[in-house]
Copies of this chain bind each other. A is one copy, B any other.
Amino acid sequence: MSKGTETRRRIISQAAALFNRRGYEGSSLQDLMKATGLEKGGIYRHFSSKEELAALAFQHAWNDAMAAREQDMDGLTNHVDRLKQYISNFVHCRPSVPGGCPLLNTAIDADDGNPVLRDHARKALKDWQKKLEAMIADGIDARQIRRRTDKRRLANLIIASLEGALMVARLDKSEQALHVVEAHLHDYIEREVRKGGPK
């Protein structure tokens, strides 16, 4: 990796930690200089604008969060168990970029603000919905998930519950909301989603 590429990656990673905690508007050039140890020219030699850097930082933080949520799944062959593990990963594994879920942060931060960041957050949500829908579709194809399961609705239920629980847990300084939602979704999946489950 060339020194320039390496510096660029390092700036993106350090900016991700800053933007994810402070938000786009809350992160000043001063903050970026402090976080990276570089002068303005040293930063903007690599990026055309703060907006471009923020978009790359969001993508970095999001990829990191998605990776954290997909660990420990290789050994699981049953698609219902994989879905449950995915939920538990969200609850128990913290991504390495600090500051909570980048999607939640960027969605709220850019809600009525920066349209480029909002588009990135919207695309991340769509990718996440599609990923969960594909996991559910695999389970239906393998006859492990009930055929009548509405993939989009179940994906949205999981995403909404987990994201809301993370917000409550962070504000509450207690993991309870995350654990409640984990247990609730696991129960629901066993009862209503797993083929051959009770009821």
Chain A residues in the interface with B (C-beta under 8 A)? 21-26, 99-100, 104-105, 107-109, 111-113, 118, 121-122, 125, 152-153, 156-157, 159-165, 167-168, 170-173, 176-177, 180-181, 184, 188
Chain B nearest CB, measured from A143 CB (Å): 24
Majority SS of interface residues in chain A?
A: helix
Query: What residues of chain B lie closer than 8 Å to A180, measured between beta carbons?
Result: 153, 156-157, 160
A167: which B residues are within 8 A, CB to CB?
Answer: 104, 107-108, 160, 163-164, 167
The residue on B at minimum CB distance from A173 is B122
Query: Chain B contacts of A161 at CB under 8 A?
Result: 160-161, 164, 181
Check B23 against A171 for contact (C-beta < 8 Å).
Answer: no
Q: Which chain B residues lie closer than 8 Å to A26 at the CB level?
A: 23-26, 109, 113
Min C-beta distance of A74 to chain B, whole Å = 28
Q: Chain B residues with Cβ under 8 A from A121's Cβ?
A: 171
In the bound assembly, the distance between CA atoms of A156 and B171 in angstroms comes to: 12
